Amino acid sequence: MTRSSDQVLDILWWLRGRVVIAADGLHWRAWGAWQSREWARIIAIGRPTSAARRTDDTRLHVITEDGYEFIYGYQLREADAAVEAMLSWADLPEREQVGRYLFHCRPATSEQVAARAAEHIHTGGYDPWDFWASRARRF
């Protein structure tokens, strides 16, 4: 991508994307509408590890009692600071790694988190999206 297209994506994310970490829960603006989840309903929050090869996949994963959500954003600026703020509100002391993602989990839920996350995360072998993502980064 060119620098100007990066700037356009940054502007679009600035206009469209929002993540709000509040006492009552986690709120984020997706392309369609605002999404909200109470802290008590969040089982785990996942983020890419620092050693992840795919630098373009910076989604945050939110696993709730009854769903699986993604927080998207072009490169999710300040994602590490956002996750640290989320962890200060949520009780997620356990850690579980699934593929290239590290999940912060509620106590005694790591097995459930691993099973649910494995349905949404590429955990090994050939990743066709990784191939195309590496090609897009060359332009």
Answer whether residue 15 shows pLDDT above 70.
Answer: no
Chain centroid to Cα 63, Å, comes to: 10
The pair of structure tokens assigned to 91 is: 């009780």
pTM of the prediction?
Answer: 0.75
**pLDDT per position as a tens digit, 49-102:** 876 555 556 778 999 999 999 887 655 667 778 888 899 999 899 999 998 889
CA distance 29 to 104: 22
- The pLDDT assigned to 135 comes to 46
Domains belonging to the chain, first-starting first, are 19-122 (2.30.29)
Sign of CA dihedral 113, 118, 119, 121: positive
Chain centroid to Cα 59, Å, comes to: 3
- Across the chain, how many H-helices and E-strands are there? 4, 8
